[in-house]
Structure 1
Amino acid sequence: MSKTESDSRTGGDLPPAEELKTAIAGFMHDFKHFSNGVNAKLQEQDNRMNKLDRKTMMTARAPLAAAATQDAPHQKAFAAYLRSGDDDGLRGLDLDGKAMGTSVAADGGYLVDPQTADTIKGTLSSTASIRAISNVVTVDATSYDVLVDHTEMGAGWATETSGVTETATPQIDRISIPLHELSALPKASQRLLDDSAFDIEAWLAGRIADKFARSEAGAFVNGDGIDKPRGLLTYPTVENEIWEWGNIGTVPSGMAGGIQGGDAIVDLVYALGAEYRANGTFVMNSKTAGTIRKLKDNDGRFLWSDGLAAGEPARLMGYPVLIAEDMPDIAVDATAIAFGDFGAGYTVAERPDLRVLRDPFSAKPHVLFYATKRVGGAVSDFAAIKLLKFATS
């Protein structure tokens, strides 16, 4: 700032000290004005960036929102069908480019909306059933084939001068798992369906899931394979020392209809190959578990330990225990305990679609809901499962 400018602000000549003070005050005034301008520019830029970020986030979130609402028309139309039988919404609905009109009653009912289907699927997966530890696959066909190579192909060390033994041709077994129709038939009064406060989807999902879970659990253990899955206890059994493919190996408890100590449990665990043992799980019912949890080793320590956290399974010799009530009680020659890698040893195959047919005529004044799905199950690796037989040999 020039002296002339300074004098014009103060009105005349000033002493040097006063002139310096005035110059500093003027500089601070100009700097503050400049600083305010810079801050305004920065704030404007920040506002612009924030708007851009919000726009970007909304754009990124749009598919998620769409995914959450894309099934709303299906759910609404399905609820209308359940309450009043109005299927116009379902007939005109197009899902993934495929008209729902192809799922009319003549084909076995209408497809359940995804929310209800997911509820049923989650319930089935969390129940005390072989399904919870098995290999579960989804198929669109009427059967599922498992290809198993259960032979050693052969390998060896080679040198520059020695001959190389030709690798043997592997033997492939094909296990075909047919899908069977599983059904449930819950019913409700029309007056209850007319009540808008009644959550028809949740009620239907709960009733279907309960019936499906109980039917599946029994079939996966004892099913004969005729119009239902084949259970793991329906296959031929042989003593593990002479086991061969197509049979399930058994280990004796050492006592007819009972067990005296923990040695038989140890024998059962180590009858399973090491490649399966790492993923091993015990399967037994509650009554058998009550007997087994009392067993001790030679040092007086219990073989059984309860889960430390809520929802964690109990463990036997460090391996998890699944309580499946369809397993037999301890009795003479009963195979009441299974141990194995069920993810490899047992396969559950199912179709993804679940259908419901509304029937207001067969049980007046009630309305029946005929729900169906297709599911199959079978042992897919006979080396992956062993059974404890309550016998001397």
Structure 2
Amino acid sequence: MEIEPMDTLTAAPETKTVPETMTAAFDDFMEAFEAFKETNDRRFGEIEQKLTADVVTRDKLERINKAMDEHKRTLDHLALKKARPALSRGADSLEAAEHKQAFSAYIRRGDEAGLRELEGKAMSVGSAADGGYLVPDETDAEIGRRLSIASPIRALATVRQVSAAVLKKPFSTSGMAAGWVAETAARPQTGNVQLAELSFPTMELYAMPAATASLLDDAAVDVESWIASEVDIVFSEQEGTAFVSGDGINKPKGLLSYTAVADGTWSWGNIGYIATGAAGAFKAAGPSDTLIDAIYALKAGHRQNASFVMNRKTQGEIRKFKDADGNYLWRPPAGPGQQAQLMGFPLVEAEDMPDVAANSLSIAFGDFRAGYLVVDRTGVRVLRDPYSAKPYVLFYTTKRVGGGVQNFEAIKLVRFAAS
């Protein structure tokens, strides 16, 4: 039997890299999309010939549609893994290295001496022992990046870092008045600019992961990475829900919690919507007309930066739409890690958006960078608690985050209602 050379044996496992895996997953996704188009075209043909689609064809189309959702979820998961950099990147300075070492001692053994010494050097009064300690910069930055990927609204919105509890932002609701005048005519005083003050309080978001003493004593365990991996999932889930439907009480105010009015009667402080013309569904004739109306309800300056936001079930319905020339309005991603397109605009999946139902606001379209603001108070804090749940050590991890609509004309909604 021929024995493989040692360098071949060691190199083989490295050939399956993340980009190759993403490419394979993307190929599977595109193969499913081709099967979807073929089956959907057959369904349209059956409707034209027999005024109804065959049950087998409909069932097959739904199975392929679900399979596409699974492939897309796999792609997003692989993109998330690829985007997560190693937490231990090396200290940028001696101070950062000392902070990292002192924080590790606090997490593993509850040794506060190193952190107290660092605070004394910095003359800090904002992180006393009973309030927890700020995590090192590496851990704080890592949690922030993961949230940007896992929470789609955060990734689309403007994010501001603040040091206070509330961010107050003045906003001009009307421009400066001007007018034409004759050469020698009197110049009357023009109207003043109208300003509105928007307030974005930061609310406390917390997680309390637990660890055994054995885990903390194991020098091979990257404790900072463990905290980040435990916290990022629960934080991103809570944030994602709050940015969409939060009521503003002890949490950010979501874009669907503001008063929605018909776009023809829109006023500042409300979000305009376009009705589909049918309760709990798209209208039977020209269903895509509603999407076109939503697109052109935005001003051109916001439209050029706009995205569609909906959940995967709503996206599954829209995948079936065609234009007058028989072209699908939904286009698959151009490559691994990229967004699908709907009528030329990026389509972002947000599972917290509601399913299609009577009077539901299931689709949002807008320039979320201009329209929605996420406010992060600087620092993620960790308080070590070895007493409350012995033999486990609890890590009370908190951050403060707020959010809300900052420009009410930059976002439009689609309402599944007759009017």
* Distance in 2 of aligned mates of 1:131 and 1:102: 27
Distance 1:66 1:334, change over 3 A: closer
Instruction: Map residues 79-158 of structure 1 onto 2, 5 A cutoff.
Output: 79-94=104-119, 98-99=122-123, 102-106=126-130, 108-158=131-181
User: Quick one: which amino acid aligns to residue 103 of structure 1?
Assistant: S
What are the superposed Cα offsets for residues 285-335 of structure 1, whole Å, 9 maximum, x if unpaired?
Answer: 111111112211222221111221221111111111111111100111100
Q: CA deviation at 1:191?
A: 0.9
Deviation, structure 1 residue 154: 2.5
- Partner residue in 2 for 1:54: none
Name the residue aligned to 1:302: 328
Quote the residue 1:52 is aligned against.
none
The structural deviation recorded for 1:67 is 3.1
* 8 A Cα contact 1:91 1:99, kept in partner: no
Q: Does 1:316 find its partner at 2:339?
A: no
Aligned to 2:45: none
For 1:51, the equivalent position in structure 2 comes to: none
Residues 92 and 101 in structure 1, CA contact (< 8 A), matched pair in contact too: no
* Amino acid of the structure 1 residue aligned with 2:122: K
The Cα of 1:102 is off from its aligned counterpart by 4.5
8 Å CA contact retained: 1:288, 1:330: yes
Determine the C-alpha separation between the residues in 1 that align with 2:326 and 2:215.
59
| 1:392 matched to 2:418 | yes
Distance in 1 separating the partners of 2:281 and 2:405 = 27
5+ residue gaps in structure 1? Answer: 1-64
The match for 1:383 is 409
How far apart are residue 276 of structure 1 and its match?
1.1
Provide the residue aligned with 2:211 in structure 1: 188
Q: Which amino acid aligns with 1:213?
A: S
Q: How does 1:357-376 map onto structure 2 within 5 Å?
A: 357-376=383-402
The answer to whether 1:74 aligns with 2:99 is yes
Q: C-alpha offsets along residues 237-282 of structure 1, whole Å, 9 cap, x if unaligned?
A: 1100111111111101122111142111001111111121111111
Instruction: Name the aligned partner's letter for residue 160 of structure 2.
Output: V
Contact 1:135–1:343 (8 Å) recurs in 2:
yes
Partner of 2:273: 250
Q: Does structure 1 residue 344 correspond to structure 2 residue 367?
A: no
Equivalent-residue separation in structure 2 for 1:74 and 1:66 (angstroms): 9
For the residues of structure 2 that align with 1:258 and 1:121, how far apart are their CA atoms?
A: 37
1:128–1:323 CA contact under 8 A, matched in 2: no
CA distance in 2, matches of 1:189, 1:81: 15
User: Letter of the aligned partner of 1:246 in structure 2?
Assistant: G
TM normalised by structure 2 equals 0.75
Contact 1:92 1:100 in 2 (8 A): no
CA distance in 2, matches of 1:301, 1:194: 60
Q: Confirm or deny: 8 A CA contact 2:372 2:406 kept in the other structure.
A: yes
1:369 Cα deviation after fit = 0.4
The 1:321–1:128 alpha-carbon spacing in structure 2 relative to 1, beyond 3 Å, is: farther
How many Å apart are 1:161 and its aligned residue? Answer: 3.1
Which whole-Å CA distance do the structure 1 matches of 2:163 and 2:175 have between them? Answer: 33
Give the AA of the match of 1:154: A
Partner of 2:25: none
Are residue 282 (structure 1) and residue 305 (structure 2) matched? no
The corresponding residue for 2:65 is: none
The alpha carbon displacement at 1:127 in A equals 1.8
Cα distance change of structure 1 residues 223 and 162 upon mapping to structure 2, 3 Å threshold: same
CA contact (8 A) 2:177 2:193 kept: no
What code does the residue aligned with 1:319 have?
A: F
Confirm or deny that 1:231 pairs with 2:277.
Answer: no
The equivalent residue for 2:290 is 264
- Three-state SS of the structure 2 residue aligned to 1:67 is coil
CA displacement at 1:69 relative to structure 2: 4.1
User: Is it true that 1:329 corresponds to 2:352 in the alignment?
Assistant: no
Amino acid at match of 1:323: E
Per the alignment, residue 59 of structure 1 pairs with none
Does structure 1 residue 291 correspond to structure 2 residue 317? yes
2:233 corresponds to: 210
Amino acid in the other structure paired with 1:105:
A
- Residue 71 of structure 1 aligns to a residue whose secondary structure is helix
Q: Is the 8 A contact 1:221 1:327 kept in 2?
A: yes
| Alignment partners' CA distance in 2, 1:192 and 1:171 | 58
Equivalent residues of 1:220, 1:230 under 8 A apart: yes
SS for the counterpart of 1:150 is strand
Q: Aligned partners of 2:126 and 2:401: how far apart in 1?
A: 21
Q: Which amino acid aligns with 1:373?
A: K
Q: How much does 1:159 deviate?
A: 4.9
SS at match of 1:70: helix
The two structures have a TM-score, normalised by structure 1, of: 0.80
Partner residue in 2 for 1:22: none
Distance in 2 separating the partners of 1:180 and 1:66: 31
Given the superposition, is the C-alpha separation of residues 69 and 287 from structure 1 closer, same or farther in structure 2, using an over 3 Å criterion? farther
Deviations 1:131-184 (A, max 9, x none): 111111111111011211111423344553344453211111111011111111
What letter corresponds to residue 362 of structure 2 in structure 1?
Answer: A
Letter in 1 for 2:294: L
Structure 1 residues 196, 66: closer, same or farther in 2, change over 3 A?
A: closer
Cα distance in structure 1, aligned partners of 2:220 and 2:125:
29
Identity of aligned residues (%): 48
